[in-house]
């Protein structure tokens, strides 16, 4: 059972409407009026999938399966195709450990480090996550370790207030690892269940970023040897291929345990989710479908694909 009950299918469906137009409506148009599916139709579907951010590998898998199914079935009807596409898409998303839940309760405090480049939605996601944990009855502390931008701490402060959780922050320009350290110390001392650490995502200098994240992890581990329990990489779906590159780069600098894909509302590039998972084999934990505090949802492969394909 999940800790959060935060899935609103209608909101998910609405958010994915542009992605739906791009993928599903195009496929439906191709199939429209055809009693049976022939090879030419499959070629057309292949092209639609490739141009919709799903990626070459996943498209190839889908088309191969579709050919096998169509070959084996006397009924070469169009619904078989949609069915096959959906099935393959779900299987791409069901990475081995995707259903593994955070082991909250087993570790106290449970420490989550949030990383990603500037502007992807880290601070917003921390605000939303803090809210989710808070309403699940957990005692939450956020640490403003993005000390690089002057406004960053203030922004996290606003989110902490909204989510009704406590925050540790220091003056602009302080050492990020000292904020992370103080946050974990406070969490341990005062019995917090969850720690969420915000960071600055300066990818322009890879070795600096690597050093900074390493230092943050090391100082936290001095207080609680297992920290961080999770390192979440936040990716912005609207950036399409760039999100894929960022996942590559961050995986090289530090170990990432899960992904958060934001801004799935209002982009036609939702297909990028399939490409990211296919490449990284890192599970997506949460998705952002809006800017508000309750616009974060648990990621569930089948629901996600159903929402993309739901035309009702």
Residues of the shown chain interacting with ligand GDP in the complex, contacts defined by CB under 6 A: 116, 118-124, 262-263, 265-266, 288-291, 295
Residue 101 CB: number of other CB atoms within 10 A? 10
Residue 177, helix vs strand vs coil:
helix
At residue 251's C-alpha, the angle toward residues 249 and 202, to 5°, is: 50
Identify which of residues 68 and 151 has a Cβ nearer to ligand GDP in the complex: 151
9: how many CB neighbours lie within 10 A of its CB? 12
Q: Name the minimum Å distance from CB 84 to ligand GDP.
A: 30
Q: Which does 242 bind (CB under 5 to 8 A by kind): ligand GDP, Mg ion, none?
A: none
CA distances from 217 to 194, 221, 255, 298, 302 (A): 16, 6, 11, 25, 34
Taking the complex as a whole, the smallest distance from the CB of residue 39 to ligand GDP amounts, in Å, to 40
Q: Residue 150: left (phi > 0), alpha (psi -120 to 50), or beta?
A: alpha
Q: Which residue's CB is nearer to ligand GDP, number 70 or number 264?
A: 264
Q: Based on CB atoms, which residue is closest to ligand GDP, 16 or 45?
A: 16
Q: Is 123 in the site for Mg ion (CB under 5 A)?
A: yes
Given the complex with ligand GDP, which of 200 and 224 has the nearer CB atom?
200
Q: Nearest distance from residue 128's CB to Mg ion, in Å? A: 13
* Segments in 16-121 forming alpha helices (H): 17-20, 26-31, 39-50, 56-72, 78-93
Is residue 147 at the binding interface for Mg ion, with CB under 5 A as the rule?
Answer: no
Q: Which residue is nearest to ligand GDP (CB)?
A: 288
Nearer CB in complex with ligand GDP: 104/289: 289
Encode 159-180: b = buried (16+ Cβ within 10 Å), e = exposed: bbeebebbbbbbeeebebbebb
> Which residue in the shown chain puts its C-beta closest to Mg ion?
123
The listed partner (Mg ion, ligand GDP, none) that binds 29, CB under 5 to 8 Å by sort, is none
Confirm or reject binding of residue 169 to Mg ion (CB under 5 A): no
* Candidate segments 121-129, 132-140, 170-178, 221-229, binder of Mg ion by CB under 5 A: 121-129
Span interacting with Mg ion, options 20-28, 151-159, 161-169, 273-281, rule CB under 5 A: 151-159
Helices first, then strands: H and E counts in the chain = 13, 8
Shorter beta-carbon distance to ligand GDP: residue 26 or 300? 300
Give, in order, the Cα–Cα distances in Å from 296 to each of 141, 194, 281.
Answer: 18, 17, 22
Q: Considering only the stretches 9-17, 48-56, 118-126, 283-291, report the one whose residues sit in contact with Mg ion under the rule CB under 5 A.
A: 118-126
Q: Return the HEC string of 13-43.
A: HHHCHHHHHHHHHHHHHHHCCCCCCCHHHHH
Identify which range of 63-71, 119-127, 165-173, 298-306 contacts Mg ion by CB under 5 A: 119-127
């Amino acid at each position: 059972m999940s800790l959060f009950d935060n899935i609103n299918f209608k909101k998910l469906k609405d958010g994915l409407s542009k992605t739906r137009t791009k993928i599903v409506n195009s496929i439906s148009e191709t199939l429209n009026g055809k009693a049976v599916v022939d090879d030419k139709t499959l070629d057309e579907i292949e092209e639609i999938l490739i141009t919709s951010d799903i990626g070459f590998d996943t498209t190839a898998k889908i088309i191969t399966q579709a050919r096998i199914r169509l070959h084996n079935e006397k009924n070469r009807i169009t619904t078989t195709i949609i069915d096959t596409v959906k099935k393959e898409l779900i299987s791409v998303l069901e990475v081995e450990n995707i259903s593994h839940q955070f082991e909250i309760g087993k570790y106290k405090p449970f420490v989550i480090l949030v990383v990603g480049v500037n502007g992807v939605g880290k601070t917003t996601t921390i605000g939303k996550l803090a809210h989710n944990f808070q309403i699940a009855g957990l005692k939450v502390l956020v640490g403003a370790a993005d000390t690089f931008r002057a406004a960053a701490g203030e922004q996290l402060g606003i989110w902490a207030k909204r989510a009704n959780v406590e925050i540790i922050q220091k003056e602009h320009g302080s050492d990020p690892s000292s904020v992370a350290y103080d946050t974990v110390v406070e969490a341990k001392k005062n019995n917090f269940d969850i720690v969420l650490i915000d960071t600055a995502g300066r990818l322009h200098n890879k070795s600096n970023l690597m050093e900074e994240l390493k230092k943050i992890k090391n100082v936290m581990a001095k207080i609680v040897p297992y920290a961080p329990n999770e390192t979440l990489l936040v990716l912005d779906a609207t950036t399409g291929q760039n999100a894929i590159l960022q996942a590559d780069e961050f995986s090289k600098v530090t170990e990432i345990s899960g992904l958060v894909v934001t801004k799935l509302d209002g982009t036609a590039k939702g297909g990028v989710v399939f490409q990211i998972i296919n490449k990284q084999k890192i599970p997506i934990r949460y998705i952002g479908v809006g800017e508000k505090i309750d616009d974060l949802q648990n990621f569930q492969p089948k629901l996600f694909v159903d929402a993309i394909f739901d035309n009702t």
